[in-house]
Copies of this chain bind each other. A is one copy, B any other.
Amino acid sequence: MYSFMNDYSEGAHPKVLELLMKSNLEQNTGYGEDTHTLRAKDYIKKLVGKENVDIHFIPGGTQTNLLVISSFLRPFEAVIAADTGHINVHETGAIEATGHKVITIPNKDGKVTTDGILDAVRYHSDEHMVKPAMVYLSDSTELGTVYTKEELYQIRQLCNREGLLLFLDGARLGSALTSKENDMELSDIAGLVDVFYIGGTKNGALLGEALVIVKEELKTNFRYLIKQRGALMAKGFVAGIQFEALFQDNLFFELGEHANDMAEKISSTLKQLGVEFLTPPVSNQLFPILSEEFLEELKEEFLFSVQKNMGNGQSAIRFVTSWATTPASVEALCNFLQKKLK
């Protein structure tokens, strides 16, 4: 049974594995101080368009989130996130476990809004409450949408005015940057946020997220913080080699594009069939609203997850595609949808 459950079901893209194989018996320096890691950083710096960013490869997304937020906030400071933000519910309180409150604001199609941020800042007015000090957002969001350059610019302006750091969780940045709705490049993002990461786990790697620290003041002694949280891999080159493979020939973007193409085939079919979506389908996560009766049939043939009960016997479900999604499986799904929903 083919799975559209998520984008971390398969291993690594063959080119990534190939480079791991090729360099396997080299003797590399530990803890990310090897030449592969260095090369991977150079490739990313070129795309980011800045030489003076700091880049660190972290094993996973939750770990990157907790590391960034706990490293850059003082104990009484809090992070603002959309209520749908990954750090709010789906990380087992990892942020709170580092001592920081997550202030939630209502999402708009999975995005934070300047109005929401401003409300949170104004509400927290004195020392009896936490002090909002960072905005967290995901691109693409947990509901599959992507930020426009103008949206991110407005959030940046607000952060400047209110003294907030801006942190972009890019666990699915590959899909975001190759979405048809996207009008940004890596260099635009690096120009607008203080810190962000480029997800490898969900876009071709076995594991690994490339954390990019843009803001100068945040760079100091960051390797101490990585080590203390248990995120400094002895074999750091295992991540370095993978990001080298992903960025030496634009593989990263090709993989994002493939995932989006696969998703678009599905969403086109659904649209033609008159199916509505919880949020606009623009990246590798789709949230069609379907009858529970039909879902009973669908789940006999394909794996997916249920996002939200919409009432009236309808549910929004989630289909996720990835670099590994096969055209054949998408065709099978589309055929099934057409046959059953027409």
Complex Cα gap A206–B12 (Å): 14
Chain B residues with Cβ below 8 Å from A3 are: 27
Interface status of A70 (Cβ within 8 A of chain B): yes
Complex Cα gap A94–B224 (Å): 10
Tallying the copies of this chain within the complex gives 4
Complex Cα gap A70–B74 (Å): 10
Residues of chain A from 70 to 91 with CB closer than 8 A to chain B in the complex:
70-71, 74-76, 78, 89-91
Interface status of A100 (Cβ within 8 A of chain B): yes
Complex Cα gap A252–B96 (Å): 37
A-B contact pairs, 16 of them (CB 8 A): A11-B20, A11-B237, A12-B24, A59-B60, A66-B230, A75-B228, A76-B225, A78-B96, A91-B230, A93-B100, A93-B228, A96-B99, A96-B130, A127-B221, A131-B224, A207-B207
* Beyond A60-B232, A91-B227, A94-B228, 19 extra complex contacts between A and B, CB < 8 Å: A9-B30, A10-B25, A10-B28, A11-B20, A59-B59, A59-B233, A60-B231, A63-B229, A76-B221, A90-B128, A92-B228, A93-B130, A97-B228, A127-B221, A127-B227, A201-B235, A206-B238, A207-B234, A230-B231
Residues of A at under 8 Å CB distance from B? Answer: 2-3, 5-6, 8-12, 14, 17, 20-21, 23-30, 59-67, 70-71, 74-76, 78, 89-94, 96-102, 127-131, 201-202, 206-207, 221, 223-235, 237-238, 324
